[in-house]
Amino acid sequence: MFLNNIVPVDKVEVRKEVLKTHFSCDLEKCKGACCTFESEYGAPISEEEVKLIGENLSNILPYLPEEHRNQIKNDGFYKLKSRELMTNSLNNRACVFVFYDNGIARCGIEKAFFDGKSTFRKPVSCHLFPIRITKFGSDVLRYERFSECEPALDKGREENVTIAEFCREGLERKYGAKWYLELMDKMEQK
């Protein structure tokens, strides 16, 4: 039964919900909730991403509120949790890299990148959201549901955009354009 819900693409297993569920972020309604989920930690990051963020940190900090800059100064920008690297959070709520633009939580790392101040766009886990990667021998891609993202489901249906289509840039960044095209071919076959 479980295998009927999986689409293999190269050495990655994709849950069919990623291919069939409609999704397109609606920041006006969710206010950037994915960056402010209540949690002791923020986004999952890799060792390479820690290095890249560290190399660009001095250019990212000016985009952050003072309270966030102080948190990073005092506690750093990441922690190791159960053998997984995660960005720190502020007050168990917002990722330390969040800044607010008209009440919408946005990523200071990404803002610095788009302004040409940083060479690093944002963690892959953020680029792939709402897709999460579970290591189960190989990568398994699944849709992580949050009630705060309900508006994205509505907008995805309106625009006829699936999670896989919405996350195209992140998927291509992680697995390559050829892999993504193979995923889309398999999506059309299912």
As given in the structure block, the two tokens for residue 63 are 């985009």
All residues at 6 or more sequence positions from 172 whose CB lies less than 8 Å from its CB, including other chains:
179, 180
Q: Is 11 a residue whose pLDDT tops 80?
A: yes
- Average pLDDT score over the chain: 93
At residue 42, the pLDDT reads 87
pLDDT value for 101: 95
Higher-confidence residue of 110 and 37: namely 110
Condensed to tens digits (0 to 9), the pLDDT of residues 124-144 reads 999 999 999 988 888 999 999
Give 56's pLDDT tier (boundaries 50, 70, 90).
Answer: very high
Dist. CA 175–CA 163, nearest whole Å = 16
Q: Categorize the per-residue pLDDT at 48 as very low, low, confident or very high, splitting at 50, 70 and 90.
A: very high
- Are β-strands 84-90 and 94-95 bridged in parallel, bridged antiparallel, or unpaired? antiparallel
Read off the tokens for 132.
Answer: 């999460």
Beta strands in 2-136 (DSSP E): 6-9, 12-15, 41-44, 78-81, 84-90, 94-95, 98-101, 104-107, 131-136
Higher pLDDT, 71 or 135: 71
Q: What pLDDT score does 135 carry? A: 84
What pLDDT is stored for residue 3 in this prediction?
56
Q: Does 109 have pLDDT greater than 50?
A: yes
Say how far apart CA 71 and CA 128 lie, in whole Å: 26
CA angle 140, 12, 1 (to 5 degrees): 55
* pLDDT for the residue numbered 190: 56
Using omega within 30 degrees of 0 as the cis cutoff, is the peptide bond preceding 151 cis? no
**pLDDT, mean of residues 20-24:** 96
How far apart CA 185 and CA 190 sit, in angstroms, is 9
Contact call for residues 161 and 78 (beta carbons, < 8 A): no
- The encoded tokens of residue 147 equal 């009630």
Q: How far apart are CA 175 and CA 30, in angstroms?
A: 28
What integer pLDDT is reported at residue 137 of this predicted model? 81
pTM: 0.90
Whether the per-residue pLDDT at 2 is higher than 50: the answer is no
- Return the pLDDT at 41: 86
